[in-house]
A and B are shown apart, each in its own frame.
Chain A
Amino acid sequence: MTDSDPQAGAGGADSTTVAVAKPAPVIDPSTVVAVHDVHKHYTLPRETLWRDPTLVHAVNGVTFTIEKGGSFGVVGESGCGKSTLARCVMGLETLTQGSVEFRGQNIHALPVEELRQLRRHFQMVFQDPFGSLDPRMKVARIVAEPIEALEDTKLDERRARVIEVLRAVGLKESDTDKYPHEFSGGQRQRIAIARALITRPALIVADEPVSALDVSVQAQVLNLLQDLQDEFGVTYLLISHDLAVVKFVCDEVAVMNEGVFVERGPTEEIFANPQHDYTKTLLAAVPQIGG
């Protein structure tokens, strides 16, 4: 699980074959995740028996790295491939081409069991706080899920960690014995964040974490994400359609359209001085107050 793992070398060598435009990722100890030339194609079910099924290029060659403690935002409209990209980075989808290296290990080349073990170091927060929590489990079990799956901890120690992490996201000890439906949307998202946080992961991938929330609650969750980064040094990959949210959380941002990054750079720069036409259209379309 260190950077000198042989997997790292293999992953690096592998990706040089496809890296023509950009150099192969150099494994820097401060690099948490290195995504290299990721492609993900789907075949849709056939519409008729006579025609070939349609091939969808959801992600079509995406490369980026995130440094420790950084926050990288991917912004784009629905269908641009940003959620697929998030799932590829999480190793929840197989890749058509390319590699995702987490601390130097190519996660898509790892055996199933090793990948499962590695998962404690990168966790995910989903968009829909109503769909991402099993309605038949109590909060204590939902939050403990990652350690239950990956570690052999004792019950009382597990409970202590659940309570600790619930407190960190602003929930109470007494909440452990409740079911998800007893909470509001914002509180549910806190539960989901607690679940992602309990293994003290190096990376949290957040896919539209505030899109389903009311405006006043959205602010609480965004502040929480900031606080957790200050406190635990978490690295974020944030996926959102909301430019302002990405701008608020991220230091680096990529604009995604039709499966590729059309523009990428430091947040302030992209927003102040967009180069690509699509970025300009996107920025111009945001209804602003004033001006």
Chain B
Amino acid sequence: MEGQPSIWRRCLAHRSFVAGGSLTGVLVLTALVSLVWTPWNPIKQNLRERLVAPSWEHLLGTDQFGRDIFSIIMAGAQNSITVGVVSVSIGMTFGVALGLWASAKRGWTEELIMRASDFMYAFPAILLAIMLVATLGQGAINAIVAIGIFSIPVFARLTRGAANAIWAREFILAARAAGKGKLRITVEHVLPNIVSVLVVQITIQFALAILAEAALSFLGLGAQPPTPSWGRMLDETRSMIFINPWLAVYPGVAIAISVLGLNLLGDGLRDVIDPRLARKR
């Protein structure tokens, strides 16, 4: 039973955890560095140096406005991470709270919360996000809020399912017998026991949020110029795709790597946190 290697050992021994962790690390590091330094000013246009090929001066070349692509990609990481953090926080806070509430109350409260989230689930999230942004007006903040709102049901359902399993355990009955109320049991017993499930979901939702933001920006509903954004880069380079296809490749690769990294990290975390699940697969 005992003598399992420590959690760090297991992390480092897990290949997709290491790969995902490194990629995610690079993403975060890039965003942090770009706050204080980028090779060139990512916003400043330089019409004399449009569509320059990659060189030591411009590692990935420049776009049709003469901006250094490497610098925009770096600064774009900030945008992606902000979107991920804020929208996942919104989705998680409300989703987890609703899920825990449903699980603690049961009965018609649970029914109502779950049917409402099923209702939201039934619509394609990205379409609804587009609708919401179109109604509220375009802009980075509205996009983030929209993405956040549509991850609420994901967290709510996951939390309710995991929490119900914990509520059925005997130590919960013991806590009730000890005289604890539902709120305290939820905070002290249920939540700590479902954290591992949530952590995994957070990484996955983070990746989905980055994708969703890229999609909204591509449609012109997300981050507004001149804020650097990978999704908008794709949109802006759309007309250039036959002249200089590389312009579209760079942001595409950046998005793909971030999403891949986060998904691998989520996979790895799930295996490391709960080795039982890993063996079942």
Contacts and interface: CB of A to CB of B under 8 A. Distances in A.
Interface residues of B, number: 18
A131 B184 contact: no
Contact of B177 (A117, A123, A127, A182): A123
Given A116-B181, A181-B2, A128 B170 contact: yes
Interface stretch (A7-15, A142-150, A163-171, A239-247): A142-150
A108 B181 CA distance: 16
A119 interface: yes
Interface of B: 1-2, 169-171, 173-181, 184, 189, 192-193
B273 to A, nearest CB: 12
Contacts of A33: none
Contacts of A150: 178-179
Contact of A149 (B2, B169, B171, B180): B180
A128 to B, nearest CB: 6
B88 to A, nearest CB: 24
A126 B179 contact: no
Interface size classification for chain A: 20 to 34
B81 to A, nearest CB: 30
B171 A119 contact: no
A136 interface: yes
Interface string A114-152: 001101100110111001111111000000011001100
B2 A134 contact: no
Interface of A: 87, 90, 92, 112, 116-117, 119-120, 123-124, 126-128, 131-137, 145-146, 149-150, 181-182, 192, 195
Contacts of B170: 126-128, 131-132
A87 B174 CA distance: 11
Contacts of A134: 171, 175, 189, 192-193
A126 B169 CA distance: 11
A149 B175 CA distance: 9
Nearest to B173: A92
A158 to B, nearest CB: 14
A116 B2 contact: no
B1 A192 contact: no
A127 B177 CA distance: 14
Given A116-B179, A117-B179, A132 B174 contact: yes
Closest 8 CB pairs of A and B: A119-B179, A146-B178, A131-B170, A124-B177, A132-B170, A149-B179, A149-B180, A134-B171
